[in-house]
Amino acid sequence: GFKMGIVGLPNVGKSTLFNALTKTAAAQAANFPFCTIEPNVGEVAVPDERLDKLAAIAQSKQIIPTRMTFVDIAGLVKGASKGEGLGNQFLANIREVDAIAHVLRCFEDGDVTHVEGRVDPVADAEVIETELMLADLESIEKRRAGLVRKLKGNDKEAVQQDRLLAAAQAELEEGRPARVVAVDAEDAKAWKNLQLLTTKPILYVCNVDEASAASGNAHSEKVREMAEAQGAASVVISAQIEEEISQLDADEAEMFLDEMGLKEAGLDRLIRAGHKLLKLETYFTVGPKEARAWTIRQGTSAPQAAGVIHGDFEKGFIRAETIAYDDFIACNGEQGAKEAGKMRAEGKGYIVKDGDVMHFLFNT
Ligand code: GDP
């Protein structure tokens, strides 16, 4: 699965947000087989109204959304890269995630201490980014020193690694994150394997006061501008509201959202933004037993997509019967789509599209 790490300075609302996420997940747990929740790891459903519509047409008994993992990574403070406090563990945890949800305090509240003594989310973002850049620089220096011997032997892999590390180092030394390095397609895999912290995509989560949940405020507006300039994503959310919503049942939650002038829960927007940031797409399997959503990366071939369900599906892949989501809906289901000639047989080279309804044929 795909993992988002929740980071941010102390007292910005990370735990509040994480609790809301996991409480919502816990409430849904009855509908989800295999929903595991550890103290700082939560699996949440990726909301997708297409799945409900497909299930309604096919009269599926069960609806199983696709999921995303959130990890609450506490303990970042100034000096983390120097191993202060929980620093080192924190950095190790970040290496393992696919993307970072960076929570920024955009609410004023005299009762909640700000570690820097003022509310300035853009400056806070820089504090964390600086720690991550310092940590990358330190690890790059160590790794390059470790490559020296192999470089003398002209080891091809070592030469590539060193070249990429040097490119990252040059940017970091100028105070820029490693993600600004332009990487060729043939270096993409080696680059990813370096697991540099400042190459992870970032979603800035503006935690605003309750009154600003629908509109955002001056602080979140500055974050939005910063995110845009960096090519990062941002969402506005009120962690406190989300925590309140997570304690309500579905009807109550809807009324509450209405009152607040919100179209949907902020968590849903957050999860979807994470999905988009990671360039993830969804395909569906639909039948009378269940309607289910599956996550793939953009550009995934049909056999690889089948492999998400089971490795044997990929190995024994013969072909896929495919109906585009819009066709499935317009033709009122599989039978109608078939009759209208909208069911396609696709082979190994087919690149699955977001929303495809798939049926895989395979050898066992
Ligand atoms: P963490 O240290 O980043 O995990 O922050 P917490 O989630 O523990 O929140 C720190 C404090 O800020 C707690 O007392 C929360 O109740 C409070 N808090 C979190 N979000 C909001 C918010 O949107 N508005 C206000 N006024 N307080 C909040």
Highest mean pLDDT among 211-220, 229-238, 325-334: 325-334
- C-alpha distances out from residue 200 to 7, 119, 160, Å: 12, 25, 20
Residue (of 43, 45, 47) closest to 72 by Cα position: 43
Q: Does domain 3-49+61-118+201-277 have CATH number 3.90.1150.10?
A: no
Q: Which CATH architecture is the domain 133-198 placed in?
A: Orthogonal Bundle (1.10)
How many C-beta atoms lie closer than 10 Å to residue 260's C-beta?
16
Tokens found for residue 290: 């269940």
List, in sequence order, every residue forming a beta bridge with 243; answer none if it has no partner: none
Structure confidence at residue 34 (pLDDT): 40
B/e letters for 164-182, b = 16+ CB within 10 Å, e = fewer, are: bbebbbebbeeeebbbebe
Q: Do residues 106 and 11 touch, judged by C-beta distance below 8 A?
A: no
Q: What is the pLDDT of residue 30?
A: 46
Distance 225 CA to ligand 1 centre (A): 24
Q: Which atom of ligand 1 is nearest to the CA of 74?
A: 4
State which ligand 1 atom lies nearest to the alpha carbon of 72: 4
Q: Ligand 1: list residues with CB < 6 Å.
A: 8, 10-16, 107, 109, 112, 207, 209, 238-240
CB-CB contact of 121 with 224 (8 Å): no
The mean pLDDT value for 236-243 works out to: 93
Residue 167 confidence (pLDDT) above 90: yes
Task: Give ipTM to 2 decimals.
Answer: 0.94
Distance 86 CA to ligand 1 centre (A): 20
pLDDT digits (tens, 9 = 90+) for 29-68: 444 444 444 558 888 888 899 999 999 999 999 999 998 8
Q: What angle do CA 350, 356, 359 make, to 5 degrees?
A: 75
| Phi then psi dihedrals of residue 195, to 5 deg | 50, 40
CA distance 202 to 11: 20
Cα(259) to centroid of ligand 1, in Å?
22
Q: How many helices (H) and strands (E) does the chain have?
A: 14, 13
Choice from 6, 7, 11 to test ligand 1 binding pocket (greatest atom count within 8 A of CB) = 11
CB 260 within 8 A of CB 241: yes
pLDDT at 39: 59
Kindly report, residue by residue over 14-32, the tens digit of the pLDDT: 988 988 887 766 555 444 4
Of the listed ranges 13-17, 158-162, 236-240, the one predicted with least confidence: 13-17
Closest CA to ligand 1's atom 20: 13
The reported pLDDT for the residue numbered 88 is: 67
Tokens linked to 334: 């599989």
| Token code pair at residue 141 | 């220096």
Taking the domains of the chain in order of start, what are their residue ranges? 3-49+61-118+201-277, 133-198, 299-362
H helical segments located in 238-301: 239-245, 250-260, 266-277
CA of 114 relative to ligand 1 center, distance in Å: 10
Contact 60, 286 (CB under 8 A): yes
For the stretch 79-126, pLDDT in tens is 655 655 445 677 778 888 999 999 999 998 877 777 777 889 999 999
- The answer to whether 99 and 152 are in contact (CB under 8 A) is no
Cα separation, 15 vs 337, in Å, equals 46
- Residue 43: which of 16, 101, 6, 3 has the closest Cα? 3
Ligand 1 mean position, distance from CA 12 (Å): 6
Which has more confidence, 246 or 208?
A: 208
pLDDT mean over 181-190? 95
Report the binding-site residues for ATP.
11-16
DSSP state letter for 291: E
Query: The pTM is what?
Result: 0.86
Q: Flag the least confident range among 20-29, 188-197, 325-334.
A: 20-29
Distance of alpha carbon 29 from alpha carbon 47, whole angstroms: 14
Fold of domain 299-362: Ubiquitin-like (UB roll) (3.10.20)
Instruction: Considering only CA atoms, give the Rg of the chain.
Output: 23
Strands of 152-222, DSSP E: 202-208
Work out the average pLDDT over 150-178.
96
